[in-house]
Structure 1
Amino acid sequence: MSTTITLYPLSNYPFASKDQQLEEDPSVVARLQRLEHDYEQYGMRRTVEGIMLVHEHGHPHVLLTQVGSAFFKLPGDYLKPHESDEQGLKARMHLRLGPDPPGDAADGEMKVEEDGAGADEWEVSDVIGQFWRPNFESFMYPYKPAHITKPKEVKTWHLIQLPETRILTVPKNQKIVALPLFELYDNAIRYGPQLSSLPALLSRVNFVYAS
């Protein structure tokens, strides 16, 4: 059974700016080291990311966060042990692209609001894909390898149904780019194996183009 999602024009989503958000880890090596440390305490890490789609020139575009000149990713992050996928993703979408809380310190530190204020404005839809990290290494698979009994991380992609219009508030050290699906398709050299697989995963989705 296919999923139906409504796409609105890119022009319906103006961007605003907010305080920068620094990455917790300065490098891939540091991130994997922290993953290993957290795994010893909490077990397998669960990561959630949101897929926001718009249309431009009659074609679906996915909204990606760009960090630096060549690093693109979907908005999201890892969950706390007690969080559900849906509520955790809502909180992280609000953290990444919602306005700064009033009186928030401009120290660049990312903090997920415990009360979830503003998070419920995000509409989380179907799961589109999952990727598994079998070891403390950078590569992830779109399936759980049969010989791996204790994967170290699972990343889940959810569709986000955007409202008809919304202001997306972007950290000063990042920007949002809208990439057409044909740019991502079969382009692992530039965008990596996960993002380049997104057009194929979205092939089961029925897009409704709203004006």
Structure 2
Amino acid sequence: MTSPVINAYQLSNYTFGTKEYKMEITSVDDRLARMKTNYMKEGMKTSVEGILLVHEHNHPHILLLQICDTFCKLPGGRIKPGESETAGLKRKLSRKLGATGVQPDWQIGECVGTWWRPNFETLMYPYCPPHITKPKKCKKLFLVHLSERQYFAVPKNLKLMAVPLLELYDNVQWYGPVISAIPQQLSRFQFNMLEE
């Protein structure tokens, strides 16, 4: 049985620019308070995030957004009620990384991980504990297959970083359990490092 393949192009193939600020809630307490309010109105929150893979010197890197020089996250966010996961991720990627007025052709691949928040706490689990009947959040991670060349417009208050996969591995202290687990989630894939 052959492993599925992920094509990764060189980081230098991509162009990066800026756009207007995007409001981001940086405090963990504020995020949890907002989640609690939204849960009372809408029920469980479902969010989708994209794993965008590039390479530098034939080493795979993941593109992460950095907020306030301290907090990193994958691009994505909450989907609207009735919105498909793919459509929601395309909308969120365009909002976070697309140039104003331009609709990039995001190629959403397979879901590689699902994480659950059973309570209004920071901890997320790669499974929903059986005693939890009403989880507060479900987060799904999808591969995003990048084209050979693409322009990323990053909000001025965020920084887009290419982080080596080996730096993420087992680095829960800095990246948290979801991002630091990406190397394991991608271990079943074969990386195809493409030149220009």
Which residue does the alignment assign to 2:13? 12
Query: Residues 60 and 180 of structure 1 are in contact (CA less than 8 Å); yes or no, is this contact kept in structure 2?
Result: yes
Give, in whole Å, the separation in 2 of the partners of 1:152 and 1:131: 11
**Match of residue 178 from structure 2:** 194
Q: Please, what TM-score do these two structures have when normalized by structure 2?
A: 0.95
Report the aligned-residue RMSD: 1.3
| Residues 1:175 and 2:159 aligned together | yes
Q: Which amino acid aligns with 2:68?
A: G
> 2 CA distance for matches of 1:182 and 1:45?
31
| Contact 2:26–2:67 (CA under 8 A) maintained in structure 1 | no
- Give 2:54's aligned residue: 54
User: Residue 31 of structure 1: CA displacement?
Assistant: 1.5
Match of 1:204 in 2: 188
Amino acid at match of 2:37: H
What amino acid maps onto 2:103 in structure 1?
G
Contact 1:5 1:205 in 2 (8 A): yes
Distance 2:94 2:4 in 1: 24
Q: How many equivalent pairs are there?
A: 194
Unaligned runs of 5+ in 2: none
Taking the TM superposition and a 5 Å limit, the aligned residue runs for 1:141-156 are 141-156=125-140
Determine the C-alpha separation between the residues in 1 that align with 2:190 and 2:150: 22
1:133 is the counterpart of 2:133: no
- Name the counterpart of 2:87: 87
d(CA) in 1 for partners of 2:7, 2:42:
38
Segments of 4+ in structure 1 off by > 6 A? none
CA deviation after TM superposition for structure 1 residue 187, in Å: 1.0
Contact (CA 8 Å) 1:19, 1:100: kept in 2 or not? no
Structure-2 change in CA distance of 1:73 and 1:26 (3 Å): closer
**Amino acid of the structure 1 residue aligned with 2:151:** I
Shift of 1:3: 2.7
Distance 1:21 1:197 in 2: 27
Query: If each structure's strand is expressed as a fraction of its own residues, which one has the higher value?
Result: 2
| Greater shift in the superposed pair: 11-20 or 26-35 | 26-35
Quote the Cα distance in structure 2 between the aligned partners of 1:142 and 1:98.
Answer: 29
For residues 59-79 of structure 1, the C-alpha deviation after alignment (integer angstroms, 9 at most, x for no partner) is: 100000011112111000111
TM-score, length of structure 1 as denominator length: 0.88
Is 2:39 the counterpart of 1:39? yes
For residues 46 and 16 of structure 2, the distance between their equivalents in structure 1, rounded to whole angstroms, comes to 29
Task: Answer yes or no: is the 8 Å Cα contact 2:11–2:55 preserved in 1.
Answer: yes
Helix, strand or coil: the match of 2:167?
helix
Aligned counterparts of 1:141 and 1:53: Cα–Cα separation in 2: 23
Distance across 2 between alignment mates of 1:208 and 1:138: 35
Percent identity of the aligned residues?
A: 48
Deviations 1:134-174, CA, capped at 9 Å, x for gaps? 00111100111011011010000000000000011101111
Following TM superposition, by how much is the alpha carbon of 1:42 offset from its aligned partner in structure 2, in angstroms? 1.4
Alpha-carbon distance between aligned partners in 2 of 1:63 and 1:195, rounded to the nearest angstrom? 11
Residue identity matched to 2:77: D
Asked whether the 8 Å contact 1:3–1:126 carries over to 2, the reply is no
2:141 aligns with 157
